[in-house]
Each structure stands twice: as C-alpha cells, then as structure tokens.
Amino acid sequence: MFLALHEVKKEKLRYGLVMGVILLIAYLIFILSALAQGLASQNTAAVNSWQSQSVLLSKDANGNLAQSMLTKEEMPKVSSTKQDQVGLAQGILKAGDARQSATFIGLANNSQIQKQTKLVQGRWLQNDTELVLSDQLKQQGFKLNQKVTMGLSNQTFTVVGFAKNALYNMSPVAYGSLNAWPAVKGVNSEFAGSGIVSQGKLRTDNDNLQVLSKKELFNKMPGYAAQNQTFLFMIAFLIVISIVIVAIFLYILTMQKLENLAVLRAQGIPSSYLIQNTLSQTVLIMVVSVGLGTLLSALTGLVIPKAVPMSFDPVLMTGTAVVLVLTGIIGAVIPMRIIAKIDPVSVIGG
Amino acid sequence: MQRLELKNVNKVFGSGTNRVQALSQVNFEAKAGELTLILGPSGSGKSTLLTILGGLQQPTSGEVLINGNRFDGKRGKAADDFRLKHIGFVLQSYSLVPYLTVAEQFQLVDKVKKAGNLPPKQFDNDLNRLGITSLLDKYPGELSGGQSQRVAIARALYANPDFILADEPTAALDSARVQEVGRLLKDIAEKEEKAVVVVTHDLRLKEEADRIYQLVDGKISLEKS
C-alpha cells in the first residue's frame, strides 16, 4: 500500500481523472439500478406487500391476472386463512375532471391482503361503495372523502384511505369490495372474480385454471420481463465497460512505470510486493470512486422528483458496489501479470 | 572479508547463426574495501557481466562465488532475497521512484527489508557525507543529475549491502560531478568496507580505482590490481 498511496498522492490529476471516470460509471450503474428497481416496483409493489407466493387464475388469461375472469362455479372456495379471492379490473378512476388509469382490486371483507396492506392515511373500506387508493394517487391530488367513479361502474365511490406500496403493473391500485368488481369490470354477476392469491402454494385440478408462482406472475405482466432485461443488459454492459476501462487505465499506468518497476525488481524488491501494491491501488481507486458514486447517487435520490420511479435499495446498492470493486480487481489482472514478468535485466546497460 | 568472484564464466545468447558469445572465460574478483572498475566500449559485455554478478541472470557456464560459496544457482525469490540483503544497485537512469520523496525512497527499503538496514546515526552520517540531508523532502524530478545519483548511492547504502554494483553511474554527469561521484564510491569502499564494482566506459574514474579490468568482446583482462 506504501507505493500505491504515495503514487496516488503525487499523481493527483492522473488518478483523479481515472477515479472521475469510474465514479461516473458507478453513478450511472446506480441510477440505472435504482430506475430498474423503481420501475419493477411499480409492477410488483402491491403483490409483494401482500406476502403472496402463488396465484390461481384462468388459463385463458395468459398469465395476466387482470384479464382473468372466473365464474362462480369455476372460482374455488378459499381453503385457508392465507388465501384471498380477488377481482382485478384495469380502468379509469374519475373525480370531476381528474382522470387516472388505475387497477381496481376487489377483496372480500377481512381479507389477508387487507391485513398486509399498510395505510398512510384514513381507514380501510367498510362497504361496497368505499375505496382505498394508492398513496401515489394522493400525491396526484386525490383526497379523503372525495367522490370518484371507477372503470365501467356507474357507482359513485368514496375515498376512505390511502395505502402504501399499492402499485400493480405500472398503475396505482384502488382497493374496493369484491362485490363491486363485476360492475367495475363490466361483466355480469355470474363472474366471481379474477382468481385466488395465496401466501402459500396453490393447486388446482381444473384444466381451465392455472397456478403461477409470484415470479411467473410478474414475468407474465405485459412489458415487465422486457423492461427488466433491458435494464439488466445495460447494467451488465456498463460493468463490462468498467472492467475494460480499469484494465486500460492500469495497463497504461503500468507500462509508463515499467522501467521504474524493473529497477525495483533489480534491487531485490519482490514482484509479489509490487503486485500487492498494484492490487491495493486498484482497490483504493475503486473503493473511493464507487464510494463517491454511491454518495452522489444518494444525493440524487434526495433531489429527484417523486414522479421519477427510482428506488434506492441499500442492499442492492451495496451489492452493486461490491461487484464494481471486484470488476476493478479483474481489470487489474493484466497489469499484475505484466509486473510478474518484468525482467530487471532490461534496465541495466544498453 | 567480503569477496565476489567469477570463475571461467561464459555467457551465450541465441543459437545457430544467431549465437552471440557475450562473455568468454571470464575470471573476476572484487573485494571489500576496494573500488573495482570494469572498463570497456559499448557492446563489450559489461552489462551482462554486471547482471551476472548481481544474480539477475545466470551464466551459461562457470561459477559465481560470494565468499567462496556458489551464488549462480539462486533463482526467483531466493535470488530476490539475496539481492535485497547483500547487493546494492546504482543504475544509470530511472534509479529513483519518481513519486517518492528522497526520505520515502529509504522508507521503501524499510518496507521490504525489515531488518539489517543502517542504524539511524550511521545513516545520518552517510546523508551528510553525500550532501543530501537538505534534499529529503524533494522528489526526484526536483533534483539535478548529480543529486539524483548521490541519492541512488545513499539508497543502495541504506540497505547495508556487502556489495555495491554500479552501472555507468557517471553517464549523465559533468566532469566535476564525475570526480565527486568517483571519490564518493572510493570513500564508501574504504570507509564502509564494501566491495564496490563500477561498470563504465568513463576513463575519468580510473584514478580512483583500486582494481581495473578491461572487457573487450567478452574477454576480460586485469589492467590494475
């Protein structure tokens, strides 16, 4: 570390530029990760907040719970306290001139989902004409006791509460009564709901129904998998680019001081010491750059408008930071190999 | 008394039509307390000889002896360790680490060689004798050629080696500085009981030398002993 620290201290501009580039890459990766996480959360927040593990729905719905409709005959009875019948309908929430796309989720009284959902304001609905809206709708101007209409129903609902993490497939959720669902969906009362959500594993013997795990349900959501894979590829490419940049920088820096390193080797300084210093230098550069990148990302998170769906998950950020430091070490492999092969004879005579 | 010897050393590079005999039946001796000069024109094999003396490369045949013991078999870490403890190199260029101050050049030696370096009092005397005490906070880029070479000598001395091997130490110096460095190396050999070997084509160093070898086309001859 002795050589590493002194070199960075002496060559502030050179190493400042290297660190600046890595900081910007780290910042970009953190922002993209936060965006990916935030956008994914807009699809999954509600289902995740329910602690559900599997869902049962119509096979014809192609895995899309909001498109699933089960008749009263098809809808299995709820067999445990960990299961809820749900009715989903995507439609327009109207309040005067205000209009907002939303997903209506109809629930029975005393459902598990109700118990798992945290309210940020108001209370849970007590009858078929009340709604609990996503807190995102609160930020968009919806208020308690406001009269609204939802989907194809002519019923006027009253907003009685706002719930945290109530987002499903990129739209805010309006929790209501399962009895109100047919009207909101625009189907007759022969239909009982969209399916069953369970905190455990579901099974079915009915060929017209299918059971999906939570992960399968998310991946079947329109655009969800494509969006996540796009972000994943962008992040993966950035990580690969960061490896290449670190490798190129360290290669150039090592080549520039090759003769000097050869002199040190001639004087008996072991190559292991010089390699160790290069490794320490890489870790130092990466930790400082990624650390500053993390700080910058956190500051960005504080000032970014709430409408931007960014979610800074400390665990994900720490994991990404560790991956970036490890990529730096991978990038240092070529320079370390060069140092290991330095021939001290090359600097003597000519 | 420390003694560095070569016995019937040959060094051959390449093979077939590319075969070059860099050293031919070289017999050589350097003793503690003496400044030994190896003179010769460019391409005569001086540097090859120095690298074999310092254990940086192996002879094709013959023996390298330190105090009568074979040294030419040492390779890798053992050779590194031996060089660090017993041999100090003073090189023509790139001799100092550019991003370390003069004081830090010595600290680097402490980092890799934890014991056996010069005690502070003795080292302070050396710094005074070399006239570099006021340069301790300076970087190599802020030193003149003569100052750099004196710092390089001080660094070699700091590890307290038995042998100091210098490669063209006066190449970048003017006449006044050549005399100064010559006297300094002679002084180190005599007062600190080191065997100092200088490879050079600078004839101005001859008057300071105790022993002079001439090396021409890989063949060595003793000119002064």
The per-residue pLDDT for range B190-219, each reduced to its tens digit, is 988 889 999 988 888 888 899 999 999 999
| A98: in domain | yes
Q: What is the DSSP string of B125-193?
A: HHHHHHT-GGGTT--GGGS-HHHHHHHHHHHHHHT--SEEEEESTTTT--HHHHHHHHHHHHHHHHHTT
Taking only Cα atoms into account, the Rg of chain B, rounded to an integer number of angstroms, comes to 17
Q: Which of B42, B87, B97 sits opposite A260 (nearest CB)?
A: B97
| A116: in domain | yes
For residues A161 and A291, membership in a common domain is answered with: no
For residues A64 and A196, membership in a common domain is answered with: yes
A261 at interface of B, judged by CB pairs closer than 8 A: no
Amino acid type, B163:
F
Count of domains in chain A? 2
pTM of the predicted model, to two decimals? 0.76
- The CATH class for the domain spanning B3-224 reads alpha beta
> Do the chains contact at B87 and A268, CB–CB below 8 Å?
yes
For residues A86 and A120, membership in a common domain is answered with: yes
A341 at interface of B, judged by CB pairs closer than 8 A: no
Question: Which long-range CB contacts under 8 A does A317-322 form with residues at least 24 apart?
Answer: A317/A30, A317/A33, A317/A34, A320/A29, A320/A30, A320/A33, A320/A235, A321/A26, A321/A290, A321/A291, A321/A293, A321/A294
Predicted local confidence at residue B85, as pLDDT: 84
| A210: in domain | no
Predicted local confidence at residue A235, as pLDDT: 87
| A112: in domain | yes
Q: Which residue of A has its CA nearest to B56?
A: A345
For residues A63 and A90, membership in a common domain is answered with: yes
DSSP state, B69?
E
For residues A235 and A287, membership in a common domain is answered with: yes
Predicted local confidence at residue B71, as pLDDT: 78
For residues A259 and A176, membership in a common domain is answered with: no
State which of A200, A215, A245 marks the end of a domain.
Answer: A200
| A205: in domain | no
Q: Which of A7, A11, A263 sits opposite B91 (nearest CB)?
A: A263
The CA-based angle B189-B194-B197, given to 5 degrees, is 75
Determine the angle formed by the axes of helices A258-266 and A271-303, rounding to 10 degrees: 140
Is the model's pLDDT at B154 over the cut of 60? Answer: yes
User: Are residues B164 and B196 in contact, defined by beta-carbon separation less than 8 angstroms?
Assistant: yes
Rounded Cα distance between B77 and A271, Å, is 9
For residues A247 and A181, membership in a common domain is answered with: no
Predicted local confidence at residue B130, as pLDDT: 82
For residues A86 and A116, membership in a common domain is answered with: yes
| A94: in domain | yes
Predicted local confidence at residue B122, as pLDDT: 85
For residues A234 and A270, membership in a common domain is answered with: yes
Predicted local confidence at residue B192, as pLDDT: 84
Of all residues in chain B, the percent with pLDDT exceeding 90 is 34
| A220: in domain | no
CA dist A155 to A93, A184, A246, B99, Å?
Answer: 12, 9, 62, 78
pLDDT in tens, chain A (350 residues): 899 999 999 999 989 998 999 999 999 999 998 998 888 888 888 888 888 899 999 999 999 999 999 999 888 888 777 899 999 999 999 998 889 999 999 999 889 999 999 999 999 999 999 999 999 999 888 999 999 999 999 999 999 999 998 999 889 999 999 999 999 999 998 999 999 999 989 888 888 999 999 999 999 888 888 988 998 898 888 888 888 888 888 888 888 888 888 888 888 888 899 999 989 998 999 999 999 999 999 899 889 887 788 888 888 888 888 988 888 888 888 888 998 888 888 777 64
Predicted local confidence at residue B93, as pLDDT: 66
Q: Which residue of A has its CA nearest to B107?
A: A2
Mean pLDDT for the stretch of residues B140-155: 88
State which of A154, A185, A200 marks the end of a domain.
Answer: A200
Residues spanned by the domain of A181: 54-200
What is the average pLDDT score of chain B? 87
For residues A288 and A246, membership in a common domain is answered with: yes
Mean pLDDT for the stretch of residues B95-107: 91
> What distance in Å separates residue B212's CA from the closest CA in chain A?
19
For residues A196 and A59, membership in a common domain is answered with: yes
Mean pLDDT for the stretch of residues B136-157: 89
Query: Three-state DSSP class for B34?
Result: coil
Predicted local confidence at residue A43, as pLDDT: 87
With cut-offs at 50, 70 and 90, classify the pLDDT of residue B79.
confident
Pairing of strands B163-167, B195-200: parallel
| A237: in domain | yes
> Do the chains contact at A2 and B46, CB–CB below 8 Å?
no
Predicted local confidence at residue B94, as pLDDT: 57
> Do the chains contact at B51 and A267, CB–CB below 8 Å?
no
DSSP state, B19?
-
